[in-house]
């Protein structure tokens, strides 16, 4: 990022990069969690949920890529080691239910992950609203995606 781009950031860059790395870690862990669940599940409705999990896994990886780009723009470095992902994550990682046919449990875990992301992105969008507009917009876009994901998963519970 150029001099003027950095100059318009009024927030502490170390804080911004730390928050972005937390989001980056959450997105990587969500990507893996959804990918793993897609492979793990079985049962009558597994073929309905599997492609949704695979699609959302890819979406979360895309989110991680956007966040990594912003971290690098700000002169930071995205978390580089897998063991550090859990340490810098705000939402963490939860293994799928031990019973492969517990699809309701899978949906509940996805909803918990989406709720955590929504809460975090909402806080971050507010935090950077007037101090880093580019980061604010990134968090706002991510929030919009996660709100849509939550609605999609809640619809599965209504079926």
Q: Is pLDDT above 90 for 33?
A: yes
Q: Is pLDDT above 90 for 34?
A: yes
Q: What is the pLDDT of residue 135?
A: 98
Closest CA to 150 of 52, 41, 16: 52
Q: Is pLDDT above 90 for 6?
A: no
Long-range Cβ contacts of 81-89 (<8 Å, 24+ apart) = 84/25, 85/25, 85/28, 85/29, 86/25, 86/29, 87/25, 88/18, 88/21, 88/22, 88/24, 88/25, 89/22, 89/25, 89/26, 89/29
The mean pLDDT value for 1-6 works out to 78
Q: What is the pLDDT of residue 21?
A: 98
Fold of 14-158: Ferritin (1.20.1260)
Q: Is pLDDT above 90 for 141?
A: yes
Question: pLDDT-based confidence at 148, cuts 50/70/90?
Answer: very high
Q: What is the pLDDT of residue 142?
A: 98
Q: Is pLDDT above 80 for 145?
A: yes
pLDDT tens track for 42-92: 999 999 999 999 999 999 999 999 999 999 999 999 999 999 999 999 999
Question: pLDDT-based confidence at 157, cuts 50/70/90?
Answer: confident
pLDDT tens track for 97-125: 999 999 999 999 999 999 999 999 999 99
Burial 5-42 (b: 16+ CB within 10 A, else e): eeeebebeeeebbebbbbbbbbbbbbbbbbbebbebbe
């Amino acid at each position: 990022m150029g001099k003027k781009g950095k100059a318009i950031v009024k927030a502490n860059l170390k804080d911004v990069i730390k928050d972005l790395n937390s989001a980056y870690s959450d997105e990587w862990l969500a990507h893996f969690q959804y990918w793993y669940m897609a492979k793990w599940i079985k049962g009558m409705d597994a073929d309905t949920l599997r492609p949704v999990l695979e699609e959302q896994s890819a979406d979360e990886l895309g989110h991680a890529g956007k966040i990594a780009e912003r971290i690098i723009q700000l002169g930071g470095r995205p978390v580089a080691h897998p063991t550090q992902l859990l340490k810098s994550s705000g939402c963490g990682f939860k293994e799928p239910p031990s019973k492969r046919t517990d699809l309701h449990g899978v949906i509940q875990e996805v909803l918990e992950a989406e709720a955590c992301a929504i809460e975090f992105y909402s806080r971050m969008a507010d935090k950077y609203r007037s101090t880093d507009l580019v980061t604010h917009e990134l968090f706002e876009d991510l929030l919009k995606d996660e709100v849509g994901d939550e609605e999609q998963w809640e619809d599965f519970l209504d079926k």
